[in-house]
């Protein structure tokens, strides 16, 4: 089969479109003919080099396609069925997995990180990862959903405990997680303040439901939040930018507010004045992906049309280098997707 692999760590030029051996599914697995695989910033970080990644390696976390073969021990699926893949690897036998806390499993990782991903024509996957896909979604749209919508749902619902009527600040409205977070917060009837880098992205964020939008390059976020809220600030800050916005994010929180973070796109180092933390009784929460139960919860809203994926641009699998360059240029609004076949 054809796949895009990395043989070394580095820039987009190291991505190789090449022939690799076909996967040999076990009797408890489903063979998926991959039709679309969306990019995430994780692909860039893995490509540049992360601990534990074994080379050669196939990137790609978000996969949609069709069932090509069904293992002898698997039921409930048939050849040709349209499916979505849960973007995670877990043991499915430990106490955490048994309790439905897959993202706390010792073996937990995201597809395309410590295990091969979906930048290829076929994948052999455990049946638990396979989710039937309704006809209403194209493969490119479906592949734009799992990782970012699950991440945003776990951050806002699972970790921050979002409640109707709250004020929520979403950093980076043009990102996949930001796009999902705006819609989820509006689903809970919250007031959403989002940040974006130019007028076009600001307009698109408002079209998704953001009540207010801040230009994070031209305006100071905390000052704008105070102005918008009449000095009351926000209940929840959804942070995934990292070092560049950390201080401003903390300044936007009202007393007893919550900052929930899932990433460090601009750098992992963040300073914190403990006196500010305890005197204002703030909560700072880490969030990593989510559980299978949460994935099914958020997918019910996607499949029901209440939450909508946004596709920025599609590239062919052989154009993976161009897709990575487009992502690193940060010009997109929505997901960049590789189409296969």
Lowest mean pLDDT among 100-114, 256-270, 290-304: 256-270
Is 98 a domain residue? yes
Residue 6 shares a structural domain with residue 38: yes
Using pLDDT thresholds of 50, 70 and 90, give the confidence band for residue 149: very high
Given this model, what pLDDT does residue 87 score? 98
What is the pLDDT at residue 190? 98
- What is the structure's pLDDT at 331? 82
pLDDT band at 265 (very low <50, low <70, confident <90, very high): confident
Convert the pLDDT of each residue in 20-70 to its tens digit: 999 999 999 999 999 999 999 999 999 999 999 999 999 999 999 999 999
Examine the domain organization and report whether 153 and 140 are in the same domain: no
Whether 143 has a pLDDT exceeding 90, the answer reads yes
Residues 7 and 138 both lie in one domain: yes
Does this model's pTM top 0.85? My answer is yes
Instruction: Please determine, for residue 214, whether its predicted confidence score (pLDDT) is greater than 90.
Output: yes
Q: Mean pLDDT across the stretch 250-267?
A: 94
131 and 215 share one domain: no
Q: Identify the pLDDT of residue 84.
A: 98
Interval 163-180 mean pLDDT: 96
Residue 293 included in any domain:
no
Residue 110 has pLDDT above 90, yes or no: yes
Check residue 254 and give its pLDDT: 98
Q: What is the mean pLDDT of the chain?
A: 96
* Claim to verify: residue 241 and residue 106 sit in the same structural domain: no
- CATH code: domain of residue 124: 3.90.180.10
Structural domain span for residue 218: 149-286
Report pLDDT for 151.
Answer: 98
pLDDT of residue 267: 85
Q: What is the pLDDT of residue 179?
A: 97
Per-residue pLDDT tens for 242-251?
A: 888 999 999 9
3-state DSSP of the chain: CEEEEECCCCCHHHCEEEECCCCCCCCCEEEEEEEEEECCHHHHHHHHCCCCCCCCEECCCEEEEEEEEECCCCCCCCCCCEEEECCEECCCCCHHHHCCCHHHCCCCEEECCCECCCCECEEEEEHHHEEECCCCCCHHHHHCCHHHHHHHHHHHHHHCCCCCCCEEEECCCCCHHHHHHHHHHHHCCCEEEEEECCHHHHHHHHHHCCCEEEECCCCCHHHHHHHHHCCCCEEEEEECCCCCCHHHHHHCEEEEEEEEECCCCCCCCCCCCHHHHHHCCCEEEECCCCCHHHHHHHHHHHHCCCCCCCEEEEEEHHHHHHHHHHHHCCCCCCEEEEECC
Is there a domain that residue 294 lies in? no
Q: Quick one: 7 and 135 in the same domain? A: yes
Domain tally, the chain: 2
């Amino acid at each position: 089969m054809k796949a895009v692999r990395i043989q070394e760590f580095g820039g987009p030029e190291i991505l190789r479109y090449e022939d690799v051996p076909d996967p040999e599914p076990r009797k408890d697995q489903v063979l998926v003919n991959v039709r679309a695989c969306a990019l995430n910033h994780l692909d860039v970080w893995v490509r540049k080099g992360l601990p534990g990644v074994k080379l050669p390696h196939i990137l790609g976390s978000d996969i949609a396609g069709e069932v090509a073969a069904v293992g002898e021990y698997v039921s409930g699926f048939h050849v040709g069925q349209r499916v979505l893949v849960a973007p995670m690897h877990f043991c499915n036998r430990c106490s955490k997995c048994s309790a439905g806390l897959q993202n706390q499993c010792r073996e937990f990782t995201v597809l395309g990180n410590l295990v091969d991903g979906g930048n290829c024509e076929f994948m052999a996957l455990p049946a638990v990862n396979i989710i039937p896909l309704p006809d209403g979604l194209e493969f490119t749209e479906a592949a734009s959903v799992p990782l970012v919508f699950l991440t945003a749902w776990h951050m806002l619902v699972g970790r921050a405990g979002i409640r109707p009527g709250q004020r929520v600040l979403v950093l980076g409205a043009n990102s996949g997680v930001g796009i999902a977070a705006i819609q989820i917060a509006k689903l809970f009837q919250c007031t959403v303040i989002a940040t974006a880098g130019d007028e076009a992205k600001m307009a698109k964020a408002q079209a998704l439901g953001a009540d207010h939008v801040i230009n994070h390059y031209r305006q100071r976020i905390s000052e704008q939040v105070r102005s918008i809220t009449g000095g009351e600030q926000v209940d929840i800050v959804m942070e995934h930018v990292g070092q560049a916005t950390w201080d401003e994010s903390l300044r936007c929180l009202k007393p007893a507010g919550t900052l929930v973070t899932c990433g460090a796109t601009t750098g992992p180092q963040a300073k914190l004045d403990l006196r500010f933390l305890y005197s204002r009784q703030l909560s700072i929460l880490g969030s990593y992906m989510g559980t299978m139960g949460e994935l099914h919860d958020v997918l019910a809203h996607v499949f029901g049309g209440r939450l909508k994926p946004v596709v920025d641009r599609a590239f062919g699998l052989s154009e993976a280098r161009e897709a990575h360059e487009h992502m690193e240029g940060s010009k997109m609004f929505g997901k960049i997707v590789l189409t296969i076949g």
